[in-house]
Chain A
Amino acid sequence: NAGVMQNPRHLVRRRGQEARLRCSPMKGHSHVYWYRQLPEEGLKFMVYLQKENIIDESGMPKERFSAEFPKEGPSILRIQQVVRGDSAAYFCASSPPRGSVETQYFGPGTRLLVL
């Protein structure tokens, strides 16, 4: 059973460009979460999605950031007009449907560097 997959693992963008980060959850998992980790910090929650629905986006910056989890395909975290402060590691996690202790399993992360 493959784990959570994220790509790309490393992404370099210049200021003003767009960054697209992809996450494929574990098989059978329908819940996806995105977290951001700044250098020397813990992970900060950004958004929680189920298929075709955003459930909780309380951690998303109000501008430039968006996320989706379509019926088919991976979840996408999109950052428009990136700035240097967006440089961070972005982690995706997935969990199965509710009804158990819904442990979140993490992907390897995408390291975004904005030049």
Chain B
Amino acid sequence: AQTVTQSQPEMSVQEAETVTLSCTYDTSESDYYLFWYKQPPSRQMILVIRQEAYKQQNATENRFSVNFQKAAKSFSLKISDSQLGDAAMYFCAYRTTQGGSEKLVFGKGTKLTVNP
């Protein structure tokens, strides 16, 4: 079974600076999807960024980018120019591409604090 590990329970960053959140996963599959979701205090789950494993290019969405290292099974999230609104729990998630199993497997999350 696939597992997702987020080794940093909490992180903090100064406003306008850059922070990187770590995620590693374990799988025997060669094709899959990876996601980062944000959960602010409202607890709504918001998609931040996604990556298809077959794509070598790292995904980027505005101030958010990933460092996808397939061989190392690592999928870190970089947040540039951090803003107060970025404060939230961040969850890394894995999804198989095999038919019949659509579930997301989540890590336990990293709580990000942004200091003014």
* Partner-B contacts on A (CB < 8 A): 31, 33, 35, 41-45, 48, 55-56, 58-59, 89, 91, 93, 95, 98, 101-106, 108-109, 111
Contacts A/B (CB < 8 Å), 25 sampled: A33-B102, A35-B104, A41-B108, A42-B107, A43-B106, A45-B103, A48-B101, A48-B103, A55-B102, A56-B101, A56-B103, A58-B103, A59-B103, A89-B43, A91-B45, A98-B99, A101-B50, A103-B35, A103-B47, A103-B50, A106-B37, A108-B43, A108-B44, A109-B44, A111-B43
CA distance in complex: A105, B37 (Å): 10
Q: Let me know if A42 and B103 touch, CB within 8 A.
A: no
Given A42-B106, A43-B106, A103-B50: A55 and B44 within 8 A (CB)? no
B75 within 8 Å of A (CB atoms):
no
Q: Let me know if A45 and B43 touch, CB within 8 A.
A: no
B85 within 8 Å of A (CB atoms):
no
Closest Cβ of chain B to A83, distance in Å, is 22
Which residue in chain A gives the minimum CB-CB distance to B51? A101
Given A43-B45, A109-B43: A56 and B104 within 8 A (CB)? no
Q: Let me know if A45 and B45 touch, CB within 8 A.
A: no
A-B CB proximity, top 7 nearest: A106-B45, A42-B106, A45-B103, A42-B108, A43-B106, A48-B102, A108-B44
Q: Which residues of B sit under 8 angstroms from A106, Cβ to Cβ?
A: 37, 44-46
Q: Which residues of B sit under 8 angstroms from A48, Cβ to Cβ?
A: 101-103
Interface size on B, residues (CB 8 A): 23
CA distance in complex: A13, B46 (Å): 28
Which residue in chain A gives the minimum CB-CB distance to B107? A42
Closest Cβ of chain B to A91, distance in Å, is 6
Closest Cβ of chain B to A2, distance in Å, is 14
Q: Let me know if A55 and B43 touch, CB within 8 A.
A: no
Closest Cβ of chain B to A34, distance in Å, is 10
Given A59-B103, A95-B102, A102-B102: A42 and B44 within 8 A (CB)? no
Closest Cβ of chain B to A60, distance in Å, is 11
